Amino acid sequence: MMRAVIVDDEEPARAKLRRWLAEERDVEIAGEFADGLSAAYSIITMSPDVVFLDVQMPGLSGLQVAAQFEPQEAPLVVFVTAYDAHALAAFDLNAVDYLLKPYDEERFRRALDRVRGRLHTPETRESAVRAARAQTGFSDHLLVPAGDGLRLIDSADIHSLEADDNYVHVHTADRAYVLRRTLRDLLQQLGEQRFVRIHKSVAVNIAEIEALSPLFKGDYELRLRSGKALRLSRRYTADLFRRSGH
């Protein structure tokens, strides 16, 4: 059984997909969402097989939603869009499937057949996330779990990212969030202009660095504005000095 999620801010647009998806024996509609934020939350917690994702929604757009996914764990995404020349170019480049509104049943079935054919190939999952990130650039916002839902935090507010097995702890001024993501992918999403690795498993916001004091063997102690002290491994010193202009 293929579990599908529909995301569109317009009810008639959802109804159209709902009706056609309901006619498929191997498809189960796992949920319908009218805005990006609740969709992102549900997609991350429900891990559906496929998402029909409207690109233009007020608030968090479809592309911004897809940019937040961990590529290996992302569902297959079929972007649905009315008109967006730039996004279409990115989709074509990454061979991601998309439906152009208005589309007919035949076109819809073709998209669904492609989804079936790709269900077990991980590359196609990554490509949607790649296409979305190519469009949105480095994310200025990060979606983090908070209480029962998700919160969108400003990436400028993040002080440090600390990896721990399969999780990353995202530290802000007043609290920490735990994401099931890899540090490498998170840095790719947020962009390396803002964040720099100081250790195999730690990255910090460059703007938050306050002081460095040498330890032994070429390591340094790095102090953030918040007062927090972290170890800068000598493997990463050259990179940090280069980027912070020393």
Partner 1 sequence: MPHQSASDSRWRRLPLVPLAALWATLWILVATIESSYYIHNPSIPRWQPLTLILTLAGTIVVWLTFELRSSRYFRFPLEPPRPWFLHHLQRLPILAAGYIVIVFGLRHAVFAIAGGKYQHLPWSGLIPFEFVKASLFYCLWLGLVYGTLSLQRSREQGVQLVLVQKALVESQLARLQAQLRPHFLFNTLNTVSSLMQIDIARADRVLARLGDLLRASLGAGSAGTIPLQEEMHLLRLYAEIMQERFSGRVTVDWHIENDALAVRMPAMLLQPLLENAFKYAIEQTTGIESIRVAASRDRDQLSITIHNTGSTLHEGWREGIGITNCRERLSVLYGSAATVDITSDGDTGVLASVSLPLAGASG
Q: Which residues are at the interface with partner 1 (CB under 8 A)?
A: 9-13, 15-16, 19, 34-35, 38, 56, 58-59, 82-84, 100-104
Which residue number, 10 or 164, has a Cβ lying nearer to partner 1?
10
CB of 87 to partner 1, least distance (A): 12
Tokens matching residue 7: 């995301």
CB of 48 to partner 1, least distance (A): 20
For helices 85-93 and 122-136, angle between their N-to-C axes, nearest 10 degrees: 150
Which residue number, 7 or 240, has a Cβ lying nearer to partner 1?
7
Which residue number, 59 or 122, has a Cβ lying nearer to partner 1?
59
Classify residue 227 by burial, with Cβ atoms within 10 Å: 0-12, 13-18, 19+.
exposed
Which residue number, 34 or 212, has a Cβ lying nearer to partner 1?
34
CB of 6 to partner 1, least distance (A): 12
Neighbours of 23 (CB within 10 A): 9
CB 175 within 8 A of CB 123: no
CB of 59 to partner 1, least distance (A): 5
CB of 100 to partner 1, least distance (A): 8
Which residue number, 106 or 165, has a Cβ lying nearer to partner 1?
106
How many Å apart are CA 122 and CA 108, to the nearest integer?
Answer: 22
DSSP letter, residue 71: G
Bridge-based pairing state of the strands 98-100 and 76-81:
parallel
